Structure 1
Amino acid sequence: MQPEAVMTGKAGGGGNRRLAFFLAVLRTHPSFAFGYAIVATVIVLAVLAPWVAPFPPEVADPTAFLQPPGWPHLMGTDATGMDVLSRVLWAPRIDLSIAILGTLLSAVIGATLGALVGYYQTMGRVARFGAGFVMRAADVLQAFPVFVFAIALVAVFGQSLQSIVLAIAFVNAPIYLRLMRTQVMSIRTMRYVEAAWLAGLSDGRIIARHIVPNAMAPVLAQLSVNVGWSVLLTAALSFIGAGVKAPTPEWGSMIAMGYQNIVTGHWWPSIFPGLALAVTVFGFSLVGSSIEVLSDPARRRRLASRLEAVRGGAA
């Protein structure tokens, strides 16, 4: 069986072949498997939080404030008496929702503009002017420090979940714009694109069917990385009081509420949410690295050839 058949699943049982190839890649890259395990665990715990959290996340018990980790509060309680474990489990429901929505919105806006700019920027004076205007606007957005720019956007739109989503979309959109533009500029000169143009296909169909699908590898890889980064940005905004309002369970606000007690030896209200945040961001970065490999046809072929050689040697 040819490596390409193993990779694409054309040799029968397409879905099973692709799944087998994916699992083989995870076996040869343990870090990728570790990243998927982290992300899957965080998502499952977030979904099951209403059933697995031992206490309500926003109910304070004044008689149990700042209790150390133990029974029945396995991660202790914070200065208001709320259970830290329950809030840690509930927090990703907010953080991941904001991060995923903001990242997807930024990808749609940035990738769409990048595809249009990369395809049309050499087609006439008007197109060059429009492309130049879009790129200079992206330069202006990226000239601002990301965190400061996000704070300014939240201040303009108001402190709400929608404002944080819009802030994430604005600060991330130029990244996808540049990634897609670079890819499209290199792909649009390929022979199969020229053949499609000579065959009479419209620009829209050429972009949608022949250019964008082959330009998505870095965009898909960046998506996972940006989700982790957006979780971090959401937590940072909440930490300084510009994001999710307390007592909503959110990792950044939990760290902000608990760090003041570290000097008195009460470390658990901020350390546990901080560790959860760090592990989640790390997991998404590993998933992004794996997607970059799996989305690149050349890398997939090399991996398929290597796996086929390993199987042949074992046989």
Structure 2
Amino acid sequence: MKASSAELDHLFHPIERSQQAEHQLTARSVPLWQDRLRKLSRNKLAVLGLVLLLVIILLAAIGPSLVPYSSSAQSLTATNLPPSGEHWFGTDDLGRDVWARTWAGARISLTIGFAAAAIDLVVGIVVGGVSGYMAGRGKLGDRVDNVLMRIVEILYSIPYLLVIILLLVVMKPGIITMIIALSITGWVGMARVVRGQILQLKQQEYVLAAHKLGTSHAGIICKHLLPNAAGIIIVNLTFTIPAAIFSESFLSFLGLGVQAPDASWGTMANDSLGVILSGQWWRLFFPGLMISLTMFAFNSFGDGLQDALDPRSQQ
């Protein structure tokens, strides 16, 4: 038996306009960047990596000024002192303060890492973007793509250690030489990533529509392709920087990188090899710790950023 509408009236009642928001069933729209930032902030390991990275950069900027010792000042009356209230990280065999040298070395290591990564970014975007965009655009486009990719493959197959040795034959060892050496082959990874993204994005409908509307090639690349590939480019950059820092530290440790009187984490580790067995552990421990923490910070933040920017991981 069906109930009449009069019998059902007591089950329902009208609501005021001011109460409608409380009964709204649709979710509030959240901007994409805000959603990804919120997801990144929920990744505790990524946040820890970012905070640690900022602390390292801050100490690289102000660390040497926190103690009354210059990173290059020698004191023969204070040689090989262990960490104490006067010398927080101890001193080396020339009486130089290890705290001041650690953060002065951080400036050089970070500068080389960021500079090499910046060059890799620019060259990789240009080469990868042109190669990916020209692929499939007639015989000329395929020829340009093939030439650029052959260059990438040749450089990718050359060990960077060999490049360093060859550069040392014709150039003085130093910071500029390190940046050039790391950049000669470092950009090929970025170029491959950018090319792969461009090949996918240029088949999207909005790109094809831009072609039909007469948008120039440069306009399509700059306005449609690169902005939509920015996420994967930024993620790749967060891994390129620590790779460059580690390469510089490794080469300086071998004596092929930064030379005295400049100090980097790698040269400090190299200087400590002869005395580590005599109990002067602090001379190797602190530069090694900074290298490890920097690698951890960049990689943790990069992993979190990759998860936040990956559309497949959006919930």
Same fold, judged at TM 0.5 (above)? yes
Root-mean-square deviation (Å): 1.9
Q: What amino acid is the match of 2:119?
A: L
> Is the alpha carbon distance of 1:179 and 1:3 closer, same or farther for their aligned partners in structure 2, counting shifts above 3 Å?
farther
The corresponding residue for 1:112 is: 126
The corresponding residue for 2:30 is: 5
Of the two, which has the highest radius of gyration?
2
More moved, 272-281 vs 64-73: 64-73
More helix by share: 1
2:157 to 135, 140, 143: 143
The corresponding residue for 2:214 is: 200
In structure 1, how many angstroms separate the alpha carbons of the residues matched to 2:233 and 2:281?
Answer: 39
In structure 1, how many angstroms separate the alpha carbons of the residues matched to 2:78 and 2:223?
Answer: 60
Residue 216 of structure 1: how far off its partner (Å): 2.1
> Which structure 1 residue ranges, 4+ long, deviate > 4 Å from structure 2?
1-4
Percent identity of paired positions between Structure 1 and Structure 2? 27
The corresponding residue for 2:20 is: none
The alignment status of 1:217 with 2:231, answered yes or no, reads: yes
1:253 to 261, 264, 267: 267
> Is the alpha carbon distance of 1:156 and 1:79 closer, same or farther for their aligned partners in structure 2, counting shifts above 3 Å?
same
Residue 294 of structure 1: how far off its partner (Å): 3.5
Q: Does the residue aligned with 2:272 lie in a helix, a strand or coil?
A: helix
> Is the alpha carbon distance of 1:156 and 1:216 closer, same or farther for their aligned partners in structure 2, counting shifts above 3 Å?
farther
For residues 161-186 of structure 1, the C-alpha deviation after alignment (integer angstroms, 9 at most, x for no partner) is 22211112122110011000001001
In structure 2, how many angstroms separate the alpha carbons of the residues matched to 1:209 and 1:34?
Answer: 34
> Is the alpha carbon distance of 1:80 and 1:133 closer, same or farther for their aligned partners in structure 2, counting shifts above 3 Å?
same
The corresponding residue for 2:72 is: 58
> Is the alpha carbon distance of 1:254 and 1:126 closer, same or farther for their aligned partners in structure 2, counting shifts above 3 Å?
same
The alignment status of 1:69 with 2:83, answered yes or no, reads: yes
Q: Which runs of 5+ in 2 are unaligned?
A: 1-25
2:276 to 262, 268, 278: 262
The alignment status of 1:39 with 2:38, answered yes or no, reads: no
Q: Aligned ranges for residues 220-235 of structure 1 at < 5 Å? A: 220-235=234-249
Q: Which runs of 5+ in 1 are unaligned?
A: 9-17, 306-315
In structure 1, how many angstroms separate the alpha carbons of the residues matched to 2:107 and 2:157?
Answer: 32
Q: Is the 8 A contact 2:40 2:305 kept in 1?
A: no
- TM-score of the aligned structures, taking structure 1 as reference length: 0.86
> Is the alpha carbon distance of 1:172 and 1:4 closer, same or farther for their aligned partners in structure 2, counting shifts above 3 Å?
farther
Q: Is the 8 A contact 2:82 2:280 kept in 1?
A: yes
- TM-score of the aligned structures, taking structure 2 as reference length: 0.86
For residues 239-285 of structure 1, the C-alpha deviation after alignment (integer angstroms, 9 at most, x for no partner) is 12222112323110000001211121211111111111111111111
Q: What amino acid is the match of 2:32?
A: M
